[in-house]
A = this chain, B = another copy of it.
Amino acid sequence: MVSILLVDDHPMLRQGVAQLIEMEDGLTVVGEAGSGEQALLRAEELNPDMILLDLNMRDMDGIATLVALRERGVSACIMIFTVSDEHDDVVAALRAGADGYLLKDTEPEELLRSIVLASKGQPVYSPQLASVLASGVRDTRPDCGEMLARLTGREKQILRHISTGETNKTIARELNITEATVKVHVKNTLRKLALRSRVEAAVWVVENRLFE
C-alpha cells in the first residue's frame, strides 16, 4: 500500500485527486496539506511514501517547500503536480530533488499510472516536458557544492574518509571518537545528501572530485 500526502492550496482539487487515488488498489491518501508549512508538519507526522506537491501556492513557494522537505530528511518520493510547464520551474524542481513532474492537465488514468510507476522508484515526467528534459537538465541534483555546503565540518570530514573506503571503525580511531558517533555522522550525511549507502556516497565524492 502506497501512502500519499497531497499538498495543494485548492481544497477542491485535493478532493478530486484524493477520490481518484482512492479508486486505485494499492494507493491511499493519508493526509492533505494546503500550504508549505502544513506540508512540512504533515510529512514528518505521517511519513508518507509519496508526496504530490503543487508548485504554485500562496504562502510558500513549492520549490522552497520541496527543499525544506528534503533538508528535514523526508525520504518520500516527491512528485511535482502543477500547472506550470515553465522551463525554469521544471529545472528548479529537478535540481531540488523532485522525483517526478506532472502537469495538471494530465488525464486521470495517466496520472494514476504515473503515480504507480513513481512509487516503484521510477521517475516520471509529463510528455510535454520532453523538450526541457532533453536539454540536458537530467542531472536531478543540486550542485555538488550546494550539497556539500549542507554538511557540517565533521560530516564533510567523515565523508572524505568514507570516500577512501575506510570503515566506521577506522574512521573513529583516526578522529578519536567512538564508532557510535561516526555512525551518527554517517547517517546524517546520507540523509542530507539523499543517498542510500556509504558506497553511493563514496562514488558521488569520487565522481565529482569533491576533495582534491
Contact = CB atoms under 8 A, between A and B. Distances in A.
Contacts of A127: none
Contacts of A196: 165
Number of copies: 2
Interface residues of A, number: 15
A206 to B, nearest CB: 4
A163 B165 CA distance: 12
Nearest to A162: B199
19 contacts: A162-B199, A163-B203, A164-B203, A165-B195, A165-B196, A165-B197, A165-B199, A165-B203, A167-B197, A198-B199, A199-B199, A199-B202, A202-B202, A202-B203, A202-B206, A203-B203, A203-B206, A206-B206, A206-B207
Interface of A: 162-165, 167, 195-200, 202-203, 206-207
